[in-house]
Amino acid sequence: MDPEQPRQLRNGPPVSTVLPANHPVNIIYRVTVMFGSIYGLYEHDVFHQIMRGPGVNHEWFKFGLAAGIGEILLVARLRF
């Protein structure tokens, strides 16, 4: 039996074991990972060090941050 193929019931249609993307469990998992990552960066004072650190070219960081946020918003808008 190939593990890549879905399981089948007796004489019935295939059974999918993967939850859909908009299932509440998947959404809760994604939100938890996102906020956990943000909290970890906050606790390690990463944003403050980047914005006020003496060895950082701030303009390029600000441009990259804005471009990344813009890309995320665009992809989120196109997806939903």
Spell out the domain ranges in the chain.
20-79
Name the residue type at position 2: D
pLDDT single digits (tens) 43-77:
999 888 877 888 777 788 789 999 999 999 999 98
pLDDT single digits (tens) 2-57:
555 555 556 666 667 788 888 899 999 999 999 999 999 999 998 888 778 887 77
What is the rounded distance in angstroms from the CA atom of residue 16 to the CA atom of residue 12?
12
The candidate with the shortest Cα–Cα distance to 7, out of 19, 18, 17, is: 17
The total number of residues written for the chain in this structure: 80
What is the rounded distance in angstroms from the CA atom of residue 7 to the CA atom of residue 14?
6
